[in-house]
Amino acid sequence: MRYFIELSYRGTAYNGWQTQANGSSIQATLEAALTQRIGKSIYIMGSGRTDAGVHARQQFAHFELAEPLLLTESFLYSLNCMLPEDIVIHRIFPVLENHHARFSAISRYYQYLISRQKSAFQSGLTYHFRPMLDDALMNEACQVLLQYTNFQSFSKARANVTHFNCRLDFAYWERIDDDSLTFHIRANRFLWGMVRTIVGTMIEIGQARMTLEQFEQIIQSRDRNKAGRAAPANGLYLVEVGYPAQVVGAWG
């Protein structure tokens, strides 16, 4: 049987989602807790791989068991007690065998948080960036971005992909107050480092260090070396993973 996990995590202490030889990961931490609680070796597949320091308000993964799992409130409570405080499982539920956490997903929605003020309570959870940014101009850059589908200019050079095309559903900046900005972006898929590089490049626009014409030329060049520096990981959040209605319906 196949089961989906819905979870959240604060990525500050981890070297990303994927299990690796050096450093802790979200995947390995989850697998260890599930293996201990269920009493069988568990391997999980995530909807996507977040980088080191990136957070998730909503993430999905799946695993398989030969026999049914008794999903009670006490089971979930005990599992969460085994996990560190920065990882929380919200629910586990059975799905059809052809439902896949990664390949069944049709959208991923990210937010990037910027704050001009240092906070004792938000350290590692937002990008502390002091200069005032022109969010109106940055939103004009978003309109340029939405005209394109090839984002090779914003992908890490070592990305192991067959193409660089992504279908963007929306991209915009929201000013929360004088000191806080949030970038919203949703697409069917994202390239390695894409959101952080877009944010870093748009910060250049927001400081009047880059024109909209130059921004469009960067997109058209398909050259990562022409884009801005990637913004730090600590401001990035995966906030929603979308699935087709027939998959959602199967969850009950």
The catalytic residue positions are: 51
CA 60 to chain centre: 11
Residues paired with 109 in a beta bridge:
186, 240
d(CA 133, CA 27): 36
Is 110 annotated for ligand binding? yes
Amino acid at 7: L
Tokens 């095309």 correspond to 165
φ/ψ (deg, to 5) at 212: -65, -35
d(CA 54, CA 125): 9
Question: Is residue 75 classed as helix, strand or coil in its secondary structure?
Answer: helix
d(CA 39, CA 30): 14
CA distances from 21 to 11, 17, 28, 233 (A): 18, 13, 10, 21
Tokens 């539920």 correspond to 93
φ/ψ (deg, to 5) at 175: -85, 115
Q: Which residues are annotated as part of the binding site for substrate?
A: 110
Q: Which residues are annotated as part of the binding site?
A: 110
